[in-house]
Amino acid sequence: MCNASARRKKIQKRRLGNNGPEVSAIGLGCMGLSFAFGPAAEKSAAIRLIHRAVELGVTFFDTAEVYGPYVNEELLGEALESRRQQVVFGTKFGFAMNQDGSPGWSGLNSRPDNIRSVTEASLRRLRTDHIDLLYQHRVDPEVPIEEVAGAVSELIAEGKVGHFGLSEAGVDTIRRAHAVQPVAALQSEYSMWWREPEGEIIPVLEELGIALVPFSPLGRGFLTGKIDATTEFAEGDIRTRLPRFAPEMLAANQALVDLLRRAGSDVNATPAQLALAWILAQRPWIVPIPGTKRIERLEENLGAARLELPAELLTEFSAALDDIRIVGERYPEVMQKLVNR
Active site residues: 67
Catalogue the long-range contacts made by 75-80 (C-beta closer than 8 Å, 24 or more residues apart).
75/30, 75/33, 75/34, 75/43, 75/46, 75/47, 75/50, 76/30, 76/50, 76/126, 77/125, 77/126, 77/127, 77/128, 78/47, 78/127, 79/46, 79/47, 79/50, 79/51, 80/50, 80/54
> Which residue type occupies 207?
E
Task: Tell whether omega for the bond before 112 is within 30 degrees of 0, i.e. cis.
Answer: no
- Residues 6 or more apart whose CB falls under 8 angstroms from that of 23 comprise 13, 14, 15, 16, 59, 60, 88, 287
Spatial separation of the C-alpha atoms in residues 228 and 247, rounded to whole Å: 7
Phi, psi at 315, each rounded to 5°: -65, -45
130 touches 122 (CB < 8 A): no
> Which residue type occupies 188?
S
Where are the extended beta strands (E) located within the chain? 13-15, 22-24, 28-29, 60-62, 88-93, 95-97, 105-108, 131-136, 161-167, 183-189, 211-215
Spatial separation of the C-alpha atoms in residues 130 and 156, rounded to whole Å: 9
CA 118 and chain centroid, separation: 20
- Work out the angle between the directed axes of helices 201-208 and 171-180 (0-180°, nearest 10): 20
- Residues 6 or more apart whose CB falls under 8 angstroms from that of 117 comprise none
